Amino acid sequence: MYSGVMETTLDAWEILQTVVQLGGFAAAAEKLNRSQSTISYAIGRLQEQLGVRLFEIQGRKAQLTEIGRVLLADAEPHLAGFHQLEKRARLMASGGASEVRLSVDSIFPDDRLFAALATFSEQFPHVRPSLRQGTFLSADSEFSLHNAQLCVTGLISREMFVKPILVIAMVAVVRRDHPLLSVARRLSRSDLMQHILVTIESAASGSLKQQPRLPAQRILPVGTIESAVAAVRSGLCFGWLPKYRIQSEIDRGEFVELPLHAGQTRDVRLNLVCRDLSASNSEANALAELLGMNREPDSI
């Protein structure tokens, strides 16, 4: 009879799962290195505790009942999570990392970033990647304030382990009906000074960091690339934006590249900065390689 007190164990559910996966008590006993009578007792005890029949005999084989199928399906995610916990504990006990902390400038392409993280998770399923994104990230600050192990940044760093991984083309663009496009010649500095420039600025690290601009230029400061794109889309201003982020707007004719007299594009070089590349930090090293540490930098 069901007593109203639930005392089932993970071990009992694992035995049930093994019996179902292997198709019988004998095979489960062999895999779990238990006696067949121990397996039978555990299943009987689990049924008693739950107050339901988990198996029914069909011919010579024991088959899960409908209730048994429902309950095992509910239990399996918990069993998988517990096994993951055990594996992480063993990894940590052997000196492996349980987490790799990565800080990435938001100008870095999301598709490349998350492709690298997905591959990393496949290679190290028991290591959790921790991601922090922001604008004008300083590797020095990310390491000291946020305990990052890797940092993708466009700023100069004092760290020893620095590798260029990507060059991003920035282009000056406006909405297709912006007044700057009515000038029937290449634009000069004085032309640009008469209009508002959207700039990306960040004070996350304690000191203001911003895109380069002329001192007298009228500006609209924003905190993210997405906001800068939206500001240009509004027609309020022009801006230097990553070309790969706005290529679809350019192709549709919504954004137009400004015909500048000089400096048609600006290149931003992103570096991967590593706090520690020792052999013992294999997880961080693997993620660094996926982000491009050992490849020649390409351009977009």
Domains of the chain: 10-93 (1.10.10.10), 100-300 (3.40.190.290)
CA distance 164 to 178: 36
Q: Is 7 exposed, middle or buried (0-12, 13-18, 19+ CB in 10 A)?
A: exposed
Q: What are phi and psi of 42, to 5 degrees?
A: -65, -40
297's tokens: 């930098």
CB burial of residue 215 (10 Å; 0-12, 13-18, 19+): exposed
Cβ atoms within 10 Å of 6's Cβ, excluding its own: 9
Predicted local confidence at residue 261, as pLDDT: 78
What are the tokens at 112?
């490349």
How far is 241 from 220, CA to CA, in rounded Å? 14
* Rounded distance between C-alpha atoms, residue 100 and residue 131, angstroms: 9
CA–CA distance, 179 with 160 (Å, rounded to integer) = 47
Where does residue 15 rank: exposed (0-12), middle (13-18), buried (19+ CB within 10 A)? buried
Pairing verdict, β 219-222 and 161-175 = unpaired
Please, which residues have CB within 8 angstroms of residue 70's CB and are 6 or more apart in sequence? none
d(CA 148, CA 158): 15
pLDDT for the residue 103 = 95
**Residue 119 identity (one-letter amino acid):** T
Of how many residues is the chain composed? 300
Cα(196)–Cα(50) distance, rounded to whole angstroms?
A: 71
What is the reported pLDDT for 242?
95
What is the pLDDT at residue 1? 43
| Per-residue confidence in pLDDT tens, the chain, 300 aa | 444 455 778 888 888 888 888 878 888 888 888 888 888 888 888 888 888 888 876 766 767 888 888 888 888 888 777 766 666 566 555 555 578 999 999 999 999 999 999 999 998 888 889 999 998 888 988 998 889 999 999 987 776 688 899 999 999 999 999 999 998 889 988 889 999 999 988 765 444 455 666 667 889 999 889 999 999 999 999 999 999 999 999 999 999 999 997 777 889 999 999 987 665 578 888 999 999 887 878 888
127 contacts 91 by C-beta, under 8 angstroms: yes
Closest CA to 192 of 234, 239, 233, 228: 239
Alpha-carbon distance of 258 to 237, in angstroms, equals 12
Answer yes or no: pTM beyond 0.75: no
Helices (H), 155-255: 189-193, 225-233, 243-252
> For residue 272, how many other CB atoms are within 10 A of its CB?
25
In this prediction, residue 30 carries a pLDDT of 87
* The pLDDT of residue 89: 61
Angle between helix 25-32 and helix 10-22 axes, rounded to 10 deg: 120
